[in-house]
Structure 1
């Protein structure tokens, strides 16, 4: 199977996914194999929501729409153009996926297959419905994928390399267990935003998307703010108010109530608006319904701090602060060439 065949298959998958978006489902009968898969995918979305309360329809549709936008022929060509896929000897690459947001492991899945390798997937029990169904779609529109995609619920066996995503604790297990295999091991990371006090209402409203999308469960969600001394949070709270319906989600509300109780009983200083708490804290990983903040005295000192602690940070949201920053509102809209932990997955796969 040639690279162009693989590109065409994922482009067709993008066309299929484009029927499912946040504004509603709109069937397109020109999509290949739609009669076989359209109704079934609607059912898989329903199952994903019923199985995992964090996977609301809005969150699932947002993830699907993001991948639909990414999987165009133009984008995939632009992404793959940077690599040489000739003379690749197919290997079997195991992927251990997280389950914090819908389809969170899809980029690794895509990277392995687009590179010409076989994929062995161990999914999280929290996100097990969507990807196997999309894999079947790929096998129908491109029969060359048959036999190259395997899902397992057991321990990974008979593989040549591995990509594993988990917590700092599970990473230690992964590093030991896979010490004799080429690997990418991902640990905990969080995203931060740098504010200077001159942000527009539109900037801060966009930032609220970076905070609340997927209930803040993704590593690309902003969990911490760096603000100048004497920063006034009024404009921030006014801008994030558009997300106030988030408190109607039972799981989110339970976390909000629990964490607020802990803070009050511990007599921690914090500000809150009925659906979000902000607390001064030097940590990066904030609990659900909470955003940490830290004051900075100078841009130079903050840049130095971020460079020293880069292994804890996934995204830096800012406006004209640092190289490779992400614009407000764009953390959950990565391009195909935006790699997790800044590790080029395709380059790794082409060298195994």
Structure 2
């Protein structure tokens, strides 16, 4: 197995740190360069002490980072800044394989990006090239891609549960309701008053109601699966736990049929488990892992079904899925470096 030289833009955030945690155990990867603007010049162990035992490169600014030896670039910068950074990177080295963990290359239509993110896309030629990185759905296209847009954590959780059902025309797409909860790390590492312990502990709340940006990804991918426009109802909530996404989805469709479709779809997938009919997944059973667990439960009303999906937002919802995308893009075994089991308790 040849060694890939890997760089991480934005290494000092939660997803950057999670990439390092996973990639240090990847047998085909050498972490060659790390960027972090405000922490440039410092060792990674100063920012995340858990890495003190590792021999990692010093944090650099983007301008200082040399892409010449790099084979794969992970970009964990905030949306908006990513467009110009990746445009410059691919102009400097067109042979790079890039996995972007921001929202900048998830939406195929530039008009959709401008509508949801409030400004014109600054690299439309790359936006049209990018492949949506939900491996279980777009594996063949990802294998040929130079640039993959890693899906959002909410959307990964929901789409893995819904895409097979929508594609099979097994549910009424006009009546999909998604009630989803996220752990605190989904909001990033930057200091925010609303993220203080006393602001979020001992309660939870909905946010971005009716207008969360991940809704655009849901619309895009479910519409592709259905072959016509689909606009589900989606409400996110913030819960006082560090990691995890938990999506409860209400759909009109026969419960046994929906379970059979999901079980058949994911029977050979390494990172998606469909539980026995009627069993309910728990977020603690995927924490720290790249696994998704899906349960199908019949509602008390005939013809109505509750589908529940859960994953770790930092792993399968971000950095783990990014490594999975890299494996596919670089023709490596898809599970390489990703087979860690959940941390429980």
Structure showing the higher helix proportion among its residues: 1
The two structures have a TM-score, normalised by structure 2, of 0.37
The two structures have a TM-score, normalised by structure 1, of 0.37
